[in-house]
A and B are shown apart, each in its own frame.
Chain A
Amino acid sequence: MAAHTTKICLSLGRINGPGFGQYASLNRATYATALSTSNFTGNKGGPDRGGRGAFVRRPRREPGEPRTEKMDSQQDWSAVYPSAASFRPGSVPLPVRMGYPVKGGVPSEKRGNLELIKIPNFLHLTPAAIKKHCEALKPFCTEWPAGLDSDGDLDKHLPIQIETTDYVSAGPSVRNPAARVVTLRVRLSSLNLDEHAREKMLKLLGDRYCKDTDILTITTDSCPLKQQNTDYAMYLLTVLYHEAWKTEAWESEMTRADRREYIWEDSASQQNVLDTLARMGVGEGEAPPREVLLARPEVQQYRDSVTRLKNEGESEGATLRYREAVKKLLSL
Protein backbone atom coordinates (compact mmCIF):
# COMPACT_ATOMS: atom_id res chain seq x y z
CA MET A 1 0.00 0.00 0.00
CA ALA A 2 1.19 3.48 -0.70
CA ALA A 3 1.51 4.41 2.95
CA HIS A 4 4.20 1.86 3.51
CA THR A 5 6.26 2.52 0.52
CA THR A 6 9.59 3.96 1.28
CA LYS A 7 10.42 6.45 -1.34
CA ILE A 8 14.00 7.33 -1.56
CA CYS A 9 13.37 10.56 -3.27
CA LEU A 10 13.98 13.97 -1.97
CA SER A 11 11.14 15.51 -3.73
CA LEU A 12 9.22 18.38 -2.51
CA GLY A 13 5.94 18.86 -4.02
CA ARG A 14 2.64 17.46 -4.74
CA ILE A 15 2.25 13.81 -4.23
CA ASN A 16 -0.34 12.21 -6.37
CA GLY A 17 -0.49 8.55 -6.86
CA PRO A 18 -2.38 5.35 -6.26
CA GLY A 19 -3.95 5.27 -2.88
CA PHE A 20 -4.47 8.97 -2.78
CA GLY A 21 -7.14 8.93 -5.44
CA GLN A 22 -9.96 9.45 -2.98
CA TYR A 23 -8.89 12.98 -2.36
CA ALA A 24 -9.88 15.44 -5.01
CA SER A 25 -6.77 17.53 -4.68
CA LEU A 26 -4.01 17.37 -2.22
CA ASN A 27 -2.06 20.47 -1.53
CA ARG A 28 0.52 19.22 0.82
CA ALA A 29 4.17 19.73 0.88
CA THR A 30 5.85 16.71 2.34
CA TYR A 31 9.30 15.39 2.51
CA ALA A 32 9.44 11.92 1.27
CA THR A 33 12.44 10.43 2.98
CA ALA A 34 13.87 6.99 3.44
CA LEU A 35 11.57 6.37 6.33
CA SER A 36 8.01 5.44 5.96
CA THR A 37 5.86 8.23 4.75
CA SER A 38 2.86 7.43 6.77
CA ASN A 39 3.03 10.40 9.13
CA PHE A 40 0.37 12.49 7.52
CA THR A 41 -1.11 14.43 10.36
CA GLY A 42 -2.95 16.96 8.28
CA ASN A 43 -6.26 15.52 7.37
CA LYS A 44 -6.20 12.78 9.86
CA GLY A 45 -9.86 12.03 10.51
CA GLY A 46 -11.37 14.84 12.46
CA PRO A 47 -14.41 14.54 14.63
CA ASP A 48 -16.75 14.49 11.67
CA ARG A 49 -15.23 12.51 8.94
CA GLY A 50 -18.50 11.06 7.86
CA GLY A 51 -19.01 13.66 5.21
CA ARG A 52 -16.92 12.07 2.55
CA GLY A 53 -18.07 8.53 2.38
CA ALA A 54 -17.81 5.16 4.04
CA PHE A 55 -14.12 4.85 4.79
CA VAL A 56 -12.67 8.33 4.87
CA ARG A 57 -9.86 7.31 7.15
CA ARG A 58 -6.30 8.14 6.30
CA PRO A 59 -4.55 5.04 5.16
CA ARG A 60 -2.66 3.86 8.13
CA ARG A 61 -0.73 0.80 9.12
CA GLU A 62 -2.43 -2.40 8.24
CA PRO A 63 -3.46 -4.34 11.29
CA GLY A 64 -1.92 -7.43 9.84
CA GLU A 65 -3.31 -10.88 10.04
CA PRO A 66 -4.95 -11.76 13.37
CA ARG A 67 -3.03 -13.80 15.87
CA THR A 68 -5.47 -16.64 15.40
CA GLU A 69 -3.89 -17.50 12.06
CA LYS A 70 -0.53 -18.07 13.68
CA MET A 71 -1.83 -20.08 16.61
CA ASP A 72 -0.77 -23.68 16.94
CA SER A 73 -3.43 -26.15 17.95
CA GLN A 74 -1.14 -27.51 20.67
CA GLN A 75 -0.32 -24.13 22.14
CA ASP A 76 -0.55 -23.29 25.82
CA TRP A 77 -3.90 -21.54 26.04
CA SER A 78 -3.23 -20.22 29.54
CA ALA A 79 -0.56 -18.02 28.00
CA VAL A 80 -3.12 -16.44 25.69
CA TYR A 81 -5.64 -15.81 28.49
CA PRO A 82 -3.74 -15.97 31.78
CA SER A 83 -6.34 -14.01 33.72
CA ALA A 84 -9.78 -12.54 33.21
CA ALA A 85 -9.90 -10.31 30.16
CA SER A 86 -12.55 -9.23 27.74
CA PHE A 87 -13.09 -11.11 24.53
CA ARG A 88 -10.55 -10.34 21.82
CA PRO A 89 -11.66 -11.65 18.43
CA GLY A 90 -8.12 -11.73 17.19
CA SER A 91 -6.97 -13.92 20.05
CA VAL A 92 -9.71 -16.50 20.14
CA PRO A 93 -9.43 -18.97 17.25
CA LEU A 94 -13.06 -20.00 17.37
CA PRO A 95 -15.77 -19.14 14.82
CA VAL A 96 -18.08 -17.75 17.49
CA ARG A 97 -21.24 -15.96 16.58
CA MET A 98 -23.49 -14.02 18.91
CA GLY A 99 -26.47 -11.77 18.68
CA TYR A 100 -30.04 -11.82 17.55
CA PRO A 101 -30.08 -12.46 13.80
CA VAL A 102 -31.76 -10.20 11.30
CA LYS A 103 -34.61 -11.71 9.36
CA GLY A 104 -33.30 -14.49 7.24
CA GLY A 105 -29.81 -14.02 8.60
CA VAL A 106 -27.46 -15.53 11.15
CA PRO A 107 -26.03 -14.15 14.39
CA SER A 108 -23.22 -11.66 13.77
CA GLU A 109 -19.64 -12.78 13.59
CA LYS A 110 -17.12 -12.21 16.32
CA ARG A 111 -15.28 -9.32 14.71
CA GLY A 112 -16.52 -6.10 16.29
CA ASN A 113 -19.25 -7.90 18.23
CA LEU A 114 -20.13 -5.96 21.35
CA GLU A 115 -22.28 -8.72 22.78
CA LEU A 116 -19.26 -10.98 23.00
CA ILE A 117 -17.27 -8.28 24.73
CA LYS A 118 -20.03 -7.45 27.23
CA ILE A 119 -20.68 -10.92 28.55
CA PRO A 120 -18.19 -12.30 31.10
CA ASN A 121 -16.13 -15.04 29.52
CA PHE A 122 -14.35 -17.97 31.13
CA LEU A 123 -11.57 -18.26 28.58
CA HIS A 124 -9.01 -17.94 31.36
CA LEU A 125 -10.58 -20.87 33.24
CA THR A 126 -10.29 -23.77 30.88
CA PRO A 127 -10.04 -27.21 32.51
CA ALA A 128 -6.29 -27.24 31.86
CA ALA A 129 -5.89 -23.86 33.53
CA ILE A 130 -8.03 -24.93 36.50
CA LYS A 131 -5.88 -28.01 36.96
CA LYS A 132 -2.75 -25.89 36.90
CA HIS A 133 -4.15 -23.48 39.44
CA CYS A 134 -5.26 -26.26 41.74
CA GLU A 135 -1.88 -27.94 41.51
CA ALA A 136 -0.34 -24.71 42.69
CA LEU A 137 -2.92 -24.26 45.45
CA LYS A 138 -2.77 -27.80 46.81
CA PRO A 139 0.19 -27.20 49.17
CA PHE A 140 -1.92 -24.66 51.05
CA CYS A 141 -4.76 -27.06 51.75
CA THR A 142 -4.87 -29.29 54.80
CA GLU A 143 -6.46 -32.66 55.19
CA TRP A 144 -9.60 -33.38 57.10
CA PRO A 145 -8.81 -35.35 60.29
CA ALA A 146 -9.34 -39.03 59.84
CA GLY A 147 -11.74 -39.99 62.60
CA LEU A 148 -14.45 -37.44 61.85
CA ASP A 149 -15.87 -38.70 58.63
CA SER A 150 -19.48 -39.16 59.62
CA ASP A 151 -21.93 -36.69 61.08
CA GLY A 152 -22.34 -38.86 64.15
CA ASP A 153 -18.63 -38.65 64.96
CA LEU A 154 -18.68 -34.92 64.49
CA ASP A 155 -21.62 -34.60 66.81
CA LYS A 156 -19.98 -36.70 69.46
CA HIS A 157 -16.64 -34.94 69.54
CA LEU A 158 -17.50 -31.48 68.32
CA PRO A 159 -21.05 -30.80 69.37
CA ILE A 160 -21.08 -27.01 69.05
CA GLN A 161 -21.93 -25.61 65.60
CA ILE A 162 -21.39 -21.96 64.79
CA GLU A 163 -22.95 -20.75 61.57
CA THR A 164 -21.80 -17.53 59.91
CA THR A 165 -22.44 -16.00 56.51
CA ASP A 166 -20.16 -13.92 54.31
CA TYR A 167 -21.32 -11.80 51.40
CA VAL A 168 -19.42 -10.91 48.22
CA SER A 169 -20.85 -8.38 45.83
CA ALA A 170 -19.93 -5.31 43.85
CA GLY A 171 -21.37 -2.05 44.87
CA PRO A 172 -20.54 1.26 46.50
CA SER A 173 -19.46 -0.61 49.63
CA VAL A 174 -17.97 -4.04 50.27
CA ARG A 175 -19.56 -4.20 53.72
CA ASN A 176 -22.78 -6.05 54.31
CA PRO A 177 -24.40 -5.51 57.71
CA ALA A 178 -26.01 -8.95 57.54
CA ALA A 179 -22.58 -10.52 57.81
CA ARG A 180 -22.45 -9.90 61.56
CA VAL A 181 -25.19 -12.45 62.35
CA VAL A 182 -23.96 -15.57 64.17
CA THR A 183 -26.03 -18.66 65.00
CA LEU A 184 -24.84 -21.12 67.63
CA ARG A 185 -26.38 -24.60 67.78
CA VAL A 186 -25.78 -27.23 70.40
CA ARG A 187 -27.47 -30.47 71.39
CA LEU A 188 -28.51 -30.36 75.03
CA SER A 189 -27.63 -34.01 75.42
CA SER A 190 -23.98 -33.19 74.83
CA LEU A 191 -23.88 -30.77 77.75
CA ASN A 192 -23.30 -32.01 81.28
CA LEU A 193 -26.73 -31.38 82.82
CA ASP A 194 -28.64 -33.20 85.51
CA GLU A 195 -32.42 -33.35 85.73
CA HIS A 196 -32.94 -30.18 87.65
CA ALA A 197 -30.43 -28.32 85.47
CA ARG A 198 -32.12 -29.57 82.33
CA GLU A 199 -35.56 -28.50 83.48
CA LYS A 200 -34.28 -25.09 84.47
CA MET A 201 -32.39 -24.74 81.22
CA LEU A 202 -35.49 -25.55 79.20
CA LYS A 203 -37.44 -22.97 81.14
CA LEU A 204 -34.77 -20.37 80.47
CA LEU A 205 -34.55 -21.19 76.78
CA GLY A 206 -38.19 -21.02 75.85
CA ASP A 207 -38.49 -20.78 72.07
CA ARG A 208 -34.82 -21.27 71.39
CA TYR A 209 -35.07 -25.00 72.01
CA CYS A 210 -36.48 -27.49 69.53
CA LYS A 211 -37.92 -30.55 71.27
CA ASP A 212 -37.81 -32.84 68.25
CA THR A 213 -34.13 -32.43 67.49
CA ASP A 214 -32.94 -31.53 71.00
CA ILE A 215 -31.06 -28.57 69.55
CA LEU A 216 -30.61 -25.26 71.27
CA THR A 217 -30.21 -22.33 68.84
CA ILE A 218 -28.84 -18.97 69.89
CA THR A 219 -28.80 -16.22 67.24
CA THR A 220 -26.85 -13.08 68.01
CA ASP A 221 -26.67 -9.93 65.98
CA SER A 222 -26.50 -7.23 68.58
CA CYS A 223 -22.81 -6.48 68.19
CA PRO A 224 -21.38 -4.79 65.11
CA LEU A 225 -18.67 -7.37 64.41
CA LYS A 226 -18.94 -11.07 63.76
CA GLN A 227 -16.22 -11.95 66.26
CA GLN A 228 -18.02 -10.00 68.95
CA ASN A 229 -21.23 -11.83 68.19
CA THR A 230 -19.59 -15.25 68.44
CA ASP A 231 -18.08 -14.25 71.77
CA TYR A 232 -21.46 -13.06 72.96
CA ALA A 233 -23.12 -16.31 71.90
CA MET A 234 -20.53 -18.35 73.81
CA TYR A 235 -20.99 -16.08 76.79
CA LEU A 236 -24.75 -16.65 76.69
CA LEU A 237 -24.23 -20.40 76.56
CA THR A 238 -21.87 -20.27 79.53
CA VAL A 239 -24.24 -18.18 81.59
CA LEU A 240 -27.20 -20.41 80.75
CA TYR A 241 -25.27 -23.50 81.73
CA HIS A 242 -24.10 -22.19 85.07
CA GLU A 243 -27.42 -20.63 85.95
CA ALA A 244 -29.15 -23.91 85.19
CA TRP A 245 -27.03 -25.71 87.77
CA LYS A 246 -27.70 -23.09 90.42
CA THR A 247 -30.64 -23.74 92.75
CA GLU A 248 -32.15 -20.63 94.22
CA ALA A 249 -33.96 -20.53 97.50
CA TRP A 250 -37.27 -19.60 95.91
CA GLU A 251 -37.23 -22.63 93.61
CA SER A 252 -38.57 -24.71 96.45
CA GLU A 253 -41.79 -22.70 96.20
CA MET A 254 -42.56 -24.09 92.77
CA THR A 255 -46.17 -25.16 92.33
CA ARG A 256 -47.82 -27.46 89.85
CA ALA A 257 -48.80 -24.48 87.73
CA ASP A 258 -45.15 -23.44 87.35
CA ARG A 259 -44.10 -26.73 85.88
CA ARG A 260 -43.12 -26.74 82.26
CA GLU A 261 -45.00 -29.93 81.45
CA TYR A 262 -48.06 -31.54 82.90
CA ILE A 263 -47.39 -34.57 85.08
CA TRP A 264 -50.27 -36.89 85.78
CA GLU A 265 -48.91 -38.40 88.97
CA ASP A 266 -50.33 -36.71 92.07
CA SER A 267 -52.70 -34.66 90.00
CA ALA A 268 -56.37 -33.99 90.38
CA SER A 269 -57.05 -36.19 87.36
CA GLN A 270 -55.41 -39.17 89.03
CA GLN A 271 -57.43 -38.62 92.19
CA ASN A 272 -60.59 -38.41 90.10
CA VAL A 273 -59.85 -41.70 88.40
CA LEU A 274 -59.22 -43.46 91.68
CA ASP A 275 -62.43 -42.10 93.15
CA THR A 276 -64.42 -43.07 90.08
CA LEU A 277 -63.05 -46.59 90.05
CA ALA A 278 -63.73 -46.97 93.73
CA ARG A 279 -67.30 -45.83 93.26
CA MET A 280 -67.76 -48.13 90.27
CA GLY A 281 -66.81 -50.97 92.52
CA VAL A 282 -63.95 -52.19 90.45
CA GLY A 283 -62.38 -55.23 92.04
CA GLU A 284 -65.05 -57.18 93.84
CA GLY A 285 -64.82 -57.20 97.54
CA GLU A 286 -62.43 -54.90 99.33
CA ALA A 287 -60.87 -52.11 97.38
CA PRO A 288 -57.58 -53.17 95.83
CA PRO A 289 -54.57 -51.03 96.70
CA ARG A 290 -53.80 -47.89 94.77
CA GLU A 291 -50.80 -49.22 92.95
CA VAL A 292 -52.72 -52.15 91.55
CA LEU A 293 -55.47 -49.88 90.35
CA LEU A 294 -52.99 -47.52 88.77
CA ALA A 295 -51.15 -50.31 87.07
CA ARG A 296 -54.23 -51.40 85.14
CA PRO A 297 -53.90 -50.92 81.37
CA GLU A 298 -57.04 -48.77 81.00
CA VAL A 299 -55.75 -46.42 83.66
CA GLN A 300 -52.41 -46.24 81.92
CA GLN A 301 -54.10 -45.47 78.63
CA TYR A 302 -56.20 -42.78 80.26
CA ARG A 303 -53.06 -41.34 81.81
CA ASP A 304 -51.31 -41.20 78.42
CA SER A 305 -54.21 -39.53 76.70
CA VAL A 306 -54.66 -36.90 79.39
CA THR A 307 -50.92 -36.12 79.43
CA ARG A 308 -50.88 -35.78 75.68
CA LEU A 309 -53.90 -33.51 75.67
CA LYS A 310 -52.45 -31.22 78.29
CA ASN A 311 -48.92 -31.07 76.91
CA GLU A 312 -49.48 -31.02 73.20
CA GLY A 313 -52.70 -29.12 73.07
CA GLU A 314 -56.02 -30.15 71.66
CA SER A 315 -56.21 -31.82 68.31
CA GLU A 316 -58.64 -34.19 66.69
CA GLY A 317 -56.45 -37.22 67.22
CA ALA A 318 -55.75 -36.38 70.82
CA THR A 319 -59.42 -35.83 71.61
CA LEU A 320 -60.41 -39.11 69.96
CA ARG A 321 -57.77 -40.96 71.96
CA TYR A 322 -59.10 -39.42 75.14
CA ARG A 323 -62.58 -40.52 74.18
CA GLU A 324 -61.45 -44.10 73.60
CA ALA A 325 -59.57 -44.13 76.88
CA VAL A 326 -62.58 -42.89 78.81
CA LYS A 327 -64.86 -45.43 77.19
CA LYS A 328 -62.50 -48.23 78.11
CA LEU A 329 -62.05 -46.99 81.62
CA LEU A 330 -65.76 -46.77 82.25
CA SER A 331 -66.29 -50.01 80.31
CA LEU A 332 -68.91 -48.51 78.07
Chain B
Amino acid sequence: MSSTGRGVTSPLCFSSDPNSAPCPALNKYGGAREVHSDRLCNGKDFLRNSTFGFEKFERLSWSQIITNTTITVTDEPDTLFQKVSVLVKGHDRSVLDSYEFFATMAAKELGITLGNVFEPPKDVLRLTLLKSIHIFKKHRVQYEMRTHYRCLELFRLTGSTAQVYLEYIQRNLPEGVAMEVSKIAVAKVPEHILQPMWEEPTADNAPSPTADLKG
Protein backbone atom coordinates (compact mmCIF):
# COMPACT_ATOMS: atom_id res chain seq x y z
CA MET B 1 0.00 0.00 0.00
CA SER B 2 1.36 3.36 -0.91
CA SER B 3 1.91 5.56 2.02
CA THR B 4 3.07 8.61 0.18
CA GLY B 5 1.23 11.87 0.51
CA ARG B 6 1.97 15.04 -1.30
CA GLY B 7 4.22 17.47 0.41
CA VAL B 8 3.05 21.00 0.96
CA THR B 9 5.55 23.82 0.81
CA SER B 10 5.13 26.13 3.72
CA PRO B 11 5.98 29.75 3.08
CA LEU B 12 7.56 29.97 6.47
CA CYS B 13 9.51 26.79 6.28
CA PHE B 14 13.15 26.64 6.92
CA SER B 15 14.69 23.65 8.52
CA SER B 16 14.81 23.66 12.26
CA ASP B 17 17.95 21.62 11.97
CA PRO B 18 20.81 23.83 10.88
CA ASN B 19 22.87 20.80 9.98
CA SER B 20 20.57 19.41 7.33
CA ALA B 21 21.12 20.06 3.67
CA PRO B 22 18.89 22.87 2.41
CA CYS B 23 15.80 21.84 0.55
CA PRO B 24 16.43 22.51 -3.14
CA ALA B 25 12.94 23.73 -3.91
CA LEU B 26 13.19 26.66 -1.51
CA ASN B 27 15.42 29.68 -1.47
CA LYS B 28 17.50 30.89 1.43
CA TYR B 29 14.54 32.10 3.43
CA GLY B 30 12.59 29.00 2.70
CA GLY B 31 10.13 30.60 0.38
CA ALA B 32 9.38 33.58 2.54
CA ARG B 33 10.94 35.90 0.09
CA GLU B 34 8.18 35.05 -2.30
CA VAL B 35 5.86 36.44 0.32
CA HIS B 36 7.92 39.55 0.60
CA SER B 37 7.89 40.19 -3.09
CA ASP B 38 4.16 39.71 -3.22
CA ARG B 39 3.71 42.40 -0.63
CA LEU B 40 6.33 44.66 -2.05
CA CYS B 41 4.84 44.52 -5.50
CA ASN B 42 1.77 46.19 -4.08
CA GLY B 43 3.04 49.55 -5.10
CA LYS B 44 5.79 49.87 -2.56
CA ASP B 45 9.23 50.85 -3.67
CA PHE B 46 11.58 47.93 -3.20
CA LEU B 47 14.59 50.13 -2.65
CA ARG B 48 12.92 52.10 0.05
CA ASN B 49 12.02 48.90 1.78
CA SER B 50 15.30 47.18 1.22
CA THR B 51 15.83 46.97 4.93
CA PHE B 52 12.62 45.01 5.26
CA GLY B 53 14.19 42.17 7.02
CA PHE B 54 12.96 38.80 7.98
CA GLU B 55 12.46 39.97 11.58
CA LYS B 56 9.78 42.40 10.59
CA PHE B 57 7.89 39.58 8.96
CA GLU B 58 6.50 38.68 12.33
CA ARG B 59 4.90 42.07 12.82
CA LEU B 60 2.59 41.60 9.89
CA SER B 61 -0.82 40.44 10.80
CA TRP B 62 -1.59 36.90 9.90
CA SER B 63 -4.39 37.81 7.55
CA GLN B 64 -2.03 40.01 5.57
CA ILE B 65 0.49 37.20 5.24
CA ILE B 66 -1.98 34.57 4.22
CA THR B 67 -3.84 36.53 1.57
CA ASN B 68 -0.58 37.10 -0.25
CA THR B 69 0.99 33.65 -0.04
CA THR B 70 0.67 30.89 -2.56
CA ILE B 71 0.35 27.35 -1.29
CA THR B 72 2.38 25.14 -3.57
CA VAL B 73 1.68 21.43 -3.55
CA THR B 74 4.60 19.34 -4.69
CA ASP B 75 4.54 15.74 -5.79
CA GLU B 76 7.46 14.60 -3.74
CA PRO B 77 6.29 12.18 -1.09
CA ASP B 78 5.76 13.46 2.43
CA THR B 79 7.85 11.89 5.14
CA LEU B 80 5.82 10.18 7.84
CA PHE B 81 6.74 10.50 11.48
CA GLN B 82 5.59 7.85 13.88
CA LYS B 83 6.54 10.00 16.84
CA VAL B 84 7.79 13.51 17.43
CA SER B 85 9.02 14.18 20.93
CA VAL B 86 9.55 17.79 22.00
CA LEU B 87 11.55 18.40 25.16
CA VAL B 88 11.79 22.00 26.40
CA LYS B 89 14.29 23.05 29.00
CA GLY B 90 14.23 26.24 31.03
CA HIS B 91 15.15 27.78 34.31
CA ASP B 92 11.64 28.86 35.26
CA ARG B 93 8.88 26.35 35.77
CA SER B 94 6.03 28.79 35.28
CA VAL B 95 7.33 29.81 31.85
CA LEU B 96 7.36 26.14 30.88
CA ASP B 97 3.81 25.75 32.21
CA SER B 98 2.57 28.54 29.96
CA TYR B 99 4.53 27.16 27.02
CA GLU B 100 3.04 23.74 27.54
CA PHE B 101 -0.45 25.22 27.49
CA PHE B 102 0.36 27.00 24.24
CA ALA B 103 1.93 23.97 22.59
CA THR B 104 -0.84 21.57 23.59
CA MET B 105 -3.51 23.97 22.44
CA ALA B 106 -1.74 24.49 19.12
CA ALA B 107 -1.50 20.73 18.64
CA LYS B 108 -5.21 20.31 19.35
CA GLU B 109 -6.15 23.10 16.97
CA LEU B 110 -4.04 21.65 14.18
CA GLY B 111 -5.51 18.22 14.77
CA ILE B 112 -2.34 16.48 15.93
CA THR B 113 -2.68 13.47 18.23
CA LEU B 114 -1.04 14.31 21.52
CA GLY B 115 0.43 11.51 23.54
CA ASN B 116 1.96 11.86 26.93
CA VAL B 117 2.68 15.37 28.24
CA PHE B 118 4.82 15.07 31.33
CA GLU B 119 7.47 16.79 33.39
CA PRO B 120 10.77 14.96 33.78
CA PRO B 121 12.44 15.69 37.13
CA LYS B 122 14.57 18.82 37.25
CA ASP B 123 18.36 18.83 37.21
CA VAL B 124 20.24 20.98 39.67
CA LEU B 125 23.86 21.84 39.07
CA ARG B 126 25.53 22.95 42.30
CA LEU B 127 28.90 24.58 42.60
CA THR B 128 30.79 25.25 45.78
CA LEU B 129 33.48 27.83 45.18
CA LEU B 130 35.95 29.70 47.29
CA LYS B 131 34.54 33.02 48.38
CA SER B 132 37.84 34.86 48.40
CA ILE B 133 40.43 35.08 45.66
CA HIS B 134 43.26 34.19 48.02
CA ILE B 135 43.31 31.84 51.05
CA PHE B 136 40.26 31.63 53.35
CA LYS B 137 39.63 28.06 52.46
CA LYS B 138 36.96 27.67 55.08
CA HIS B 139 34.72 30.28 53.55
CA ARG B 140 32.94 29.22 50.44
CA VAL B 141 29.98 30.32 48.42
CA GLN B 142 27.47 27.98 46.77
CA TYR B 143 25.60 28.46 43.52
CA GLU B 144 23.04 26.31 41.89
CA MET B 145 21.52 26.21 38.43
CA ARG B 146 18.14 24.55 38.04
CA THR B 147 16.99 23.18 34.72
CA HIS B 148 13.32 22.27 34.48
CA TYR B 149 12.00 20.08 31.70
CA ARG B 150 8.72 19.51 29.94
CA CYS B 151 8.11 16.81 27.35
CA LEU B 152 5.36 16.57 24.75
CA GLU B 153 4.92 13.49 22.64
CA LEU B 154 3.04 13.69 19.36
CA PHE B 155 2.13 10.69 17.30
CA ARG B 156 1.50 10.05 13.62
CA LEU B 157 2.38 13.31 11.91
CA THR B 158 3.12 13.89 8.29
CA GLY B 159 6.23 15.78 7.32
CA SER B 160 4.36 18.92 6.30
CA THR B 161 2.32 19.01 9.47
CA ALA B 162 5.39 18.42 11.60
CA GLN B 163 7.25 21.18 9.82
CA VAL B 164 4.38 23.63 10.29
CA TYR B 165 3.81 22.75 13.93
CA LEU B 166 7.48 22.74 14.87
CA GLU B 167 8.17 26.00 13.16
CA TYR B 168 5.20 27.62 14.87
CA ILE B 169 6.32 26.26 18.24
CA GLN B 170 9.91 27.30 17.74
CA ARG B 171 9.16 30.81 16.59
CA ASN B 172 7.23 31.34 19.79
CA LEU B 173 9.85 29.81 22.03
CA PRO B 174 10.40 32.25 24.92
CA GLU B 175 13.76 33.73 25.82
CA GLY B 176 15.90 31.46 27.91
CA VAL B 177 14.17 28.25 26.88
CA ALA B 178 15.88 25.56 24.81
CA MET B 179 14.29 22.74 22.90
CA GLU B 180 15.23 19.29 21.66
CA VAL B 181 13.06 17.67 19.05
CA SER B 182 13.49 13.99 18.34
CA LYS B 183 11.63 12.58 15.36
CA ILE B 184 11.15 8.97 14.35
CA ALA B 185 10.52 8.81 10.62
CA VAL B 186 9.16 5.59 9.13
CA ALA B 187 10.01 4.33 5.68
CA LYS B 188 9.52 1.32 3.45
CA VAL B 189 12.24 -1.23 2.93
CA PRO B 190 14.11 0.13 -0.11
CA GLU B 191 14.03 -1.88 -3.34
CA HIS B 192 17.66 -2.84 -3.21
CA ILE B 193 17.15 -4.71 0.06
CA LEU B 194 14.09 -6.67 -1.02
CA GLN B 195 16.03 -9.36 -2.89
CA PRO B 196 19.62 -10.43 -2.47
CA MET B 197 21.62 -9.42 -5.48
CA TRP B 198 23.47 -12.72 -5.65
CA GLU B 199 20.38 -14.57 -6.70
CA GLU B 200 20.02 -12.90 -10.06
CA PRO B 201 20.05 -15.87 -12.44
CA THR B 202 22.89 -15.70 -14.99
CA ALA B 203 22.93 -11.96 -14.99
CA ASP B 204 26.56 -12.21 -15.96
CA ASN B 205 28.26 -14.96 -17.90
CA ALA B 206 30.94 -15.66 -15.33
CA PRO B 207 29.70 -17.91 -12.55
CA SER B 208 29.34 -15.95 -9.33
CA PRO B 209 31.67 -16.95 -6.48
CA THR B 210 28.62 -18.03 -4.51
CA ALA B 211 27.53 -20.65 -6.97
CA ASP B 212 26.91 -23.08 -4.12
CA LEU B 213 24.32 -20.84 -2.51
CA LYS B 214 22.01 -22.87 -0.40
CA GLY B 215 18.41 -21.83 -0.54
Do A131 and B156 contact each other (CB < 8 Å), given the known contacts A158-B187, A164-B185, A194-B215? no
The residue in chain B whose Cβ has the minimal distance to the Cβ of A195 is: B214
Docked CA distance A237–B194 (Å): 12
- For A141, list chain B residues within 8 Å (CB): 8, 110-111, 158, 160-161, 164-165
What 0/1 readout, one digit per residue, does chain B (146-168) give for beta carbons within 8 Å of chain A? 00000000001111110011001
- For B66, list chain A residues within 8 Å (CB): 136
Docked CA distance A173–B4 (Å): 36
Docked CA distance A245–B199 (Å): 9
- For A241, list chain B residues within 8 Å (CB): 193, 196
* Contact of B182 with A164 in the complex, beta carbons under 8 Å: yes
Q: B145 to nearest A CB, angstroms? A: 15
Docked CA distance A163–B183 (Å): 6
The one of A149, A162, A170 that contacts B178, using a Cβ cutoff of 8 Å: A170
Interface residues on A, range: 35 or more
A82 close to B (CB within 8 Å): yes
Do A82 and B175 contact each other (CB < 8 Å), given the known contacts A142-B158, A164-B183, A245-B213? no
B residues neighboring A (CB under 8 Å) = 1, 3, 5-8, 10-11, 16-21, 58-59, 61-63, 65-66, 71, 78, 80, 82, 92, 95, 98-99, 102, 105-106, 109-111, 156-161, 164-165, 168, 170, 172-190, 192-199, 209-210, 212-215
The residue in chain B whose Cβ has the minimal distance to the Cβ of A156 is: B1
Do A225 and B19 contact each other (CB < 8 Å), given the known contacts A158-B186, A160-B187, A238-B193? yes
Docked CA distance A242–B192 (Å): 9
Q: A213 to nearest B CB, angstroms? A: 15
What 0/1 readout, one digit per residue, does chain A (208-237) give for beta carbons within 8 Å of chain B? 000000000000000011110000001001
What 0/1 readout, one digit per residue, does chain A (266-305) give for beta carbons within 8 Å of chain B? 0000000000000000000000000000000000000000
A residues neighboring B (CB under 8 Å) = 82-84, 119-120, 122, 124-125, 127, 130-145, 147-149, 151, 154, 157-170, 174-176, 179-180, 186, 190-192, 194, 196-197, 224-227, 234, 237-238, 241-242, 244-249
* Contact of B175 with A170 in the complex, beta carbons under 8 Å: yes
